[in-house]
């Protein structure tokens, strides 16, 4: 996973997975991407950055179940207008956390959960019922995908044991396009 440079093969795979030609008619454009980054104090990780600038800013088809959200959008069931979101603040997790069963090492678990939801990630989309996919844009897990639900959060990628697929946006899309179960790794069983 290279979060700083999009490979031509990755972009071709992404175009094919979403059925988007090379014209990028639904893309956001570089000026809008740079404006979003400046507003939020982040540089989006590749290949997602090039994907939204040149290929497509969201899609009605998956991943996830209800389609890929546009860069600045949030799922309908988000619960607020996203005013507390701070993308430039580091995403706080580096390991899975099932807060439904464990308060973790936090004095204020509710505040820690709010940071997981609002800091350092863009929401890629939802599988419904507050099961959202996040792309980390700042912090130690920049470029990784996380599945964040009302019960906890876990990273996506073979290195974490929950899936057999490679990490990052391109690995996540390839996994979906191959029709695999989201969590097909040894730690998911």
Considering only CA atoms, give the Rg of the chain: 16
- Nearest-angstrom CA–CA distance, 108 and 98: 15
- Nearest-angstrom CA–CA distance, 87 and 70: 15
- For the record, the structure tokens of 10 come out as 């990755």
Give the per-residue pLDDT at 69: 95
**Which residue from 124, 159, 131, 165 is spatially nearest to 147, judged by alpha carbons?**
131
3-state secondary structure of 68: strand
| Per-residue pLDDT in tens (0 to 9) along the chain, 189 residues | 666 678 788 899 899 998 886 666 789 999 999 999 999 999 999 999 999 999 999 998 888 889 999 998 999 888 777 778 999 999 999 999 999 888 888 889 999 999 999 999 999 999 988 899 999 999 999 999 999 999 999 999 999 998 999 999 999 999 999 999 888 888 765
185 with 150: CB under 8 angstroms? no
How many residues can be counted in the chain? 189
179 with 119: CB under 8 angstroms? no
Ordered domains of the chain (ranges, CATH):
8-70+86-180 (3.40.1580)
- Stated pTM of the model: 0.92
- Nearest-angstrom CA–CA distance, 118 and 95: 17
Give the per-residue pLDDT at 98: 94
Give the per-residue pLDDT at 155: 96
Give the per-residue pLDDT at 14: 92
Give the per-residue pLDDT at 188: 66
Helix, strand, coil shares, percent, the chain, to 5: 30, 15, 55
Cα angle for residues 152, 36, 126 (degrees, 5° grid): 30
42 with 137: CB under 8 angstroms? yes
């Amino acid at each position: 996973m290279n979060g700083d440079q999009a490979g031509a093969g990755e972009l071709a795979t992404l175009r094919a997975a979403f059925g988007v030609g090379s014209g990028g008619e639904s893309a956001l454009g570089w000026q809008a991407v740079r404006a979003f980054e400046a507003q939020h104090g982040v540089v989006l990780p590749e290949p997602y950055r090039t994907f939204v600038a040149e290929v497509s800013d969201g899609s009605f088809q998956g991943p996830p179940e209800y389609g890929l959200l546009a860069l600045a959008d949030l799922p309908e069931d988000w619960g607020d207008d996203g005013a507390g979101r701070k993308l430039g603040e580091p995403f706080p997790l580096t390991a899975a956390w099932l807060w439904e069963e464990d308060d973790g090492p936090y004095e204020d678990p509710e505040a820690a959960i709010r940071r997981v939801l609002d800091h350092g990630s863009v929401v890629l989309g939802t599988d419904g019922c507050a099961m959202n996919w996040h792309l980390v844009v700042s912090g130690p897990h920049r470029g990784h995908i996380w599945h964040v639900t009302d019960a906890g959060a876990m990273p996506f990628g073979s290195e974490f044991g929950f899936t057999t697929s490679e990490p990052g946006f391109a690995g996540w899309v390839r996994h979906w396009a191959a029709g695999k179960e989201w969590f097909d790794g040894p730690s998911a069983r």
